[in-house]
Structures are given as C-alpha cells and as structure tokens.
Chain A
Amino acid sequence: MSDQKAVSREDVLKMAGLSRLQPTGEERELFARQFRDILGYMDILAAVDTEGVEPLYSVALHGGILRDDAAAAGLSREEALANAPLRNGECFVVPRIV
C-alpha cells in the first residue's frame, strides 16, 4: 500500500469539474488527503498479473435481451413532469442557453 500518490487540490478541482461539482475550499483540502489514501490503496491492483485477461464488465449470464422494437405506452407528460422542480406546464425549465 503506497501513500505516495500525489493528489493536489488542482487534481481535486479537475475531478470536480468532470463531476459537475463545486467543492468548498475545506472539502478540496479534505478530499485531496482522502483521495491520496484511497488511490494509493488502489495501486494494489498494479501487482496483479492480468496479462491476456479479458475484462469482465457485466456478470449477466444471458446474452442481453432486446425488447421488440414496438411502440408502448410510457409515462404521460403529467407524470414525467410531476417531480420537476421548475416547469411551465408543458416543459422542464432550464436557464437560458441561447
């Protein structure tokens, strides 16, 4: 287990940007320290020999079943909008884009 992994506050900011998050200064400090520990621990995997091993992304044992390409009833507009924090009756409302 290595704790040498360098994770700077700038790295944390980059990760936050990818995640659409805005950590506070205090969080940046704390996360940088915690991410150093956690990513340092993850380095344990570098020692595992995976030469020629096919990655396993899903453990589903059937081939994946696609539904028929047929129209079916989904949520009504009212249902789809029911939990929207801001709506204008017919649509979700977002800040002006253009």
Chain B
Amino acid sequence: MTDICSLTLDAAAEALQKKELGAEEVAGACLDRIARTEPKISALLRTDGEKARARARELDKIGPDPSMPLFGVPVTIKDAICTRGLATTAASRMLEGFNPVFDAFAVEKLRAAGAVILGKTNMDEFAMGSTTENSAFQITRNPWNTDKVPGGSSGGSAASVTAGQCFASLGSDTGGSIRQPASLCGCVGLKPTYGRVSRYGLIAYGSSLDQIGPLTRSVADCARVFEVIAGHDRRDATSDPRPAGGYVAALDGKTLGGARLGLPKEFFGEGASVEVRAACAAALRAAESLGAELVEVSLPHTGAAVATYYIIAMAEASSNLARFDGVRYGRRAEGARNLEELYARSRSEGFGAEVKRRIMLGAYVLSAGYYDAYYRKAAQVRRLIRDEYLAALERCDVICAPVSPETAWDVGTHSADPLRMYLMDAYTLSLNLAGLPGLALPVGKGAESGMPVGMQLVGRAFGEAELLAYGHALERALPGIGVPAL
C-alpha cells in the first residue's frame, strides 16, 4: 500500500471512514514521519505523541462516524492558536509554558470533527514576520531546500503539511501569513473572508485583519477543513452570522470554461521576479486553453498598500500586546520594585526585537500629534483599496495574482532589514485590508531556483465556495509540482 503520509486528506479520511485504515495506524505513521523529518525542517515547536495516540485509540474504539468528517485525520496547529492542555506560545519567550485553559473555536471544531492534534507549529513571534526566522525558539527550513526559508508567519504549518507530517494545519493570516508560506513551500492555503472563521482563541495580532485558515496539500483537502472550521461564533463579535458550509459539495461546480480571470496590472509588473511571472503566466495560459477569459483589472492604490497595512497592523498590535503585563499570564520579571517596572521589564525580557519594533511604531502612529497623519490616513487609504478590489471584482469572477514576488530565499537574507522584509508582503496584505478571501495554490516551480511558485485567487466576500471551486479546476488543469525528497 502507498505510504500513508503521502495520501491526500481526502483519501485518508475516506480510508478511515471505511476502516481500511485505523486512526492509531495513521497517527503512528505521521508521528514516525515527524521523527524522520523534524531533524531537517524543524517545523514543530512541540508534539504530544502520547495524547495523539490516546485520542486515536479512543476514536478507533468509537468507530468511524460520517458526522465526523475528519475522523482520525492527524493535523498540526499554528502556535498562535490556543489548544487546551497543549502549551501555546506564539513562538515567544513571553508565553513560554503558557497552557491554555480553553480551545480556540477552530480547534474545538476540528476535535469535534474527529481530527487528531499532533502538535504545534513554529511561526514568527506573535505572527510578526514573513520567514519564521523571528521565532524565539528555532528556525524552520523549507522542505524543498533546507537552505531556504519556508515563508511566514505560518511557516511551520506550511513546512509540516508539505513534508507529510500531517494532512492539514491551521494557520493564521494577518497580511499573508497563510498564503505566502503556502506559496514558498508549494502547498495550498486559504485566507477566509474576514468574519468567516471565529478568532476566538487566536492570540491577537491585528484584530481587524487576522483570520484563521487551513493549509493542505490540495484544494479539495482545503475545502474539507474549511467546511469544519467556518461558521458563526458568539464569542467573537466580528464573526459573521450568515450560514457557512457547502464548500466540498461545490468543488466540482465550476469549470474554467467561460471564467473571467482578472489580472491586476499592478501585480504583474517588474516587482515580481522573472521566474515567478513566468510560472504564473504558464498557469494562466493553461486556464485560457480551457476556455478562461483573461481580463485586465486595475488596483491603482497597490503602491500604498504596504504603508497602509503596516500602520494599521502595528497600531492594532500595540493595543493587543498591551495585555502582556507579567501579571495574569506569561513572563514576569524578577525583583521589580513597582508595577510600572514590572510591566516594562517583563515586556522587555519577553518580546523579541521585531515585536518590540511593531509595538513601538504602533504606539507612535496612535499617539497625540501623529494619529491623523498616520493611523487615520491609513484607514482612509484602506477604504480606497477595499473599494478598488470590489470594483475589480465587478469585472471578473476571480482575481489572479502572484503570492510572493520571489520564490523562497536563503535563510538570513533579509533578517537585518525590516523594511525590505515588509516590502516582500506587497502582494498579499492588501487582501487583508479589504477583508476578502484568498486561496494560494502552487502553479509550478521557478525555472531558475527550482522552488515552488504560488498564485492566489481572490474572490468576493463570503465567496469561498466559488473560490475553492475555481482553485480546484485550476489545480486539475496544471501538472502539479510533486513532493520534496526529504
């Protein structure tokens, strides 16, 4: 029989439902795979093999249940998402040893659907970064080439899925943190519409931008996981009450014949490397040959998106991370003489450099005298950017764009220059400003680097069913990029 870990989630879930595979057998195969691959990629901050095996045994005892669509399916979870009884640190010294007393909404849903949680994935500290190099604990490597970064901030999730350690991982996307690592590692990642997946239990970074979403090895697998985690939750006031679901059923509902694919001219210019443009162009030609119509659209304020995004994200981060005070949870400095000193010393010891930068800049753009010039101004430009997306989506069914201007780069390349790193997020972050859904999928490999190239499909708000169906059709039109030899 085929190696269990190379199955799609779809195939594994079906085999588990039919009892062709047992939950303990599948969890064991993934834990073995983790033991073999972790020394090379360091995707996971911690695993709990014992608990995972116990849960799998329990599931085997209950037996398959069609109302548990992820029955016995092993998954990993980004370390920014709370898991009851499994330490959750957001890859920060600030939260070392933090043991959540509740599950995030999305984790509750996964458990109820029968998923087996294997461990927590590495990330940039508090999701601030685009390479996973900002983790306080370890550097994750790209499974295709371990000299390269996996992207970030959900780099551990993307590497874990790509390396076959699990069948799906939950990530979070504030400015591209699901789509960009998916693209750099050559897997699929979905950033849902703002409000579609509850943020309850997600350690907040930029609350008006953050969304939890799945990373998987195929679009169909992504739809299966999304089906489980989408939905309304009263504990998140921004969670949208409209009904969710039907994503798996809708997968075969679209063909590329007659589909209007919008290409924003601002995303296909000189900003992207030659090999990224070439791989995207080849995918678009494949779509065209199946009858898709390519429509040029324009998002004129794209050039202002990086500044807009970082002002808003940093402002929200400075507010959200004010909760780390050394009192209720997290790191506490020893020997502070008063409360003020306790705050400042605990925070200075607990946070890494990038987190400090963003908190301080966020406090600055919100401070008296600068608020209007930075924060309010950015919120105004945010409206312009959102309205342009909505106008562009009037002219096409789905927008297509590269995810990252470059394929995965070498570890250490940009880590000394934060601004240069921010500019690498230019293609992903405007979507978070607009609140729209984006699906990243691999479309080929760079001719020069041999590393995966991802393209993102952007759809209308709450149009995930349509978006996944178009993604599924495009994925089938392409030859695929294979799997890394690890």
A62 to B422, CA, bound (A): 31
Q: Does B374 contact A (CB under 8 A)?
A: yes
Please count how many residues in chain A sit with their CB below 8 Å of the partner chain's CB atoms: 51
A95 contacts B304, C-beta separation under 8 Å = no
B window 26-45: CB within 8 A of A: none
A23 contacts B382, C-beta separation under 8 Å = no
The one of A30, A66, A92 that contacts B327, using a Cβ cutoff of 8 Å: A92
A46 to B365, CA, bound (A): 14
- Which of these binds chain A: B243-251, B288-296, B330-338, B444-452? B330-338
B window 430-469: CB within 8 A of A: 433-435, 461-462
Q: Does B415 contact A (CB under 8 A)?
A: no
A12 to chain B, nearest CB (A): 7
Given A42-B310, A50-B381, A65-B237, verify A19-B363 contact (CB < 8 Å): yes
Contacts of A31 in B (CB 8 A): 356-357, 360
A59 contacts B208, C-beta separation under 8 Å = yes
A44 contacts B303, C-beta separation under 8 Å = yes
Q: Does A6 contact B (CB under 8 A)?
A: no
B213 to chain A, nearest CB (A): 16
A45 to B305, CA, bound (A): 9
B336 contacts A56, C-beta separation under 8 Å = no
Given A83-B329, A86-B332, verify A54-B344 contact (CB < 8 Å): no
A60 contacts B238, C-beta separation under 8 Å = yes
A21 contacts B356, C-beta separation under 8 Å = yes
- A57 to B, closest residue via Cβ: B379
A21 to B384, CA, bound (A): 34
A32 to chain B, nearest CB (A): 11
Contacts of A23 in B (CB 8 A): 348, 356
- B370 to A, closest residue via Cβ: A39
- A36 to B, closest residue via Cβ: B419
User: Which DSSP category, helix, strand, loop or mixed, fits chain B's interface?
Assistant: helix
A55 contacts B376, C-beta separation under 8 Å = yes
- A54 to B, closest residue via Cβ: B383
Contact with B along A45-77 (1 / 0, CB 8 A): 110101001111111111011110000000100
A50 to B374, CA, bound (A): 12
Given A21-B356, A60-B195, A92-B328, verify A44-B304 contact (CB < 8 Å): yes
A38 to chain B, nearest CB (A): 5
A67 to B234, CA, bound (A): 7
Q: Does A27 contact B (CB under 8 A)?
A: yes
B241 contacts A62, C-beta separation under 8 Å = yes
Q: For chain B, give the interface size range.
A: 35 or more
B window 276-311: CB within 8 A of A: 301, 303-304, 306-308, 310-311
Given A42-B310, A64-B237, A65-B237, verify A21-B351 contact (CB < 8 Å): yes
A55 to chain B, nearest CB (A): 3
Q: Does B240 contact A (CB under 8 A)?
A: yes
A58 to chain B, nearest CB (A): 5
Q: Does B146 contact A (CB under 8 A)?
A: no
A45 contacts B304, C-beta separation under 8 Å = yes
The one of A46, A56, A79, A97 that contacts B386, using a Cβ cutoff of 8 Å: A56
Contacts of B234 in A (CB 8 A): 65, 67
A83 contacts B419, C-beta separation under 8 Å = no
A85 contacts B331, C-beta separation under 8 Å = yes
Contacts of A42 in B (CB 8 A): 307, 310-311, 365, 374
A65 to chain B, nearest CB (A): 6
A98 to chain B, nearest CB (A): 11
B435 contacts A61, C-beta separation under 8 Å = yes
Contacts of A65 in B (CB 8 A): 234, 237, 241
- B237 to A, closest residue via Cβ: A64
Contacts of A27 in B (CB 8 A): 353, 356
Contacts of B240 in A (CB 8 A): 60-62
Given A18-B367, A38-B419, A62-B241, verify A95-B384 contact (CB < 8 Å): no
Q: Does B378 contact A (CB under 8 A)?
A: yes
The one of B330, B378, B419, B462 that contacts A45, using a Cβ cutoff of 8 Å: B378
Contacts of A96 in B (CB 8 A): 338
Given A59-B434, A62-B240, verify A12-B360 contact (CB < 8 Å): yes
B299 to chain A, nearest CB (A): 13
Contact with A along B343-370 (1 / 0, CB 8 A): 1110110010100110111111101000
Interface residues in chain B, defined as those with a beta carbon under 8 Å from any beta carbon in chain A: 98-99, 101-102, 194-195, 208, 234, 237-238, 240-242, 301, 303-304, 306-308, 310-311, 318, 322, 325-332, 336-345, 347-348, 351, 353, 356-357, 359-365, 367, 373-374, 376-384, 386, 418-419, 422, 433-435, 461-462
10 contacting pairs across A/B (C-beta < 8 A) = A21-B356, A37-B419, A38-B361, A38-B422, A41-B419, A57-B208, A59-B208, A61-B240, A62-B240, A85-B326
**Those 5 A-B pairs whose CB atoms lie nearest each other, nearest first:** A59-B435, A55-B379, A85-B332, A83-B329, A56-B383
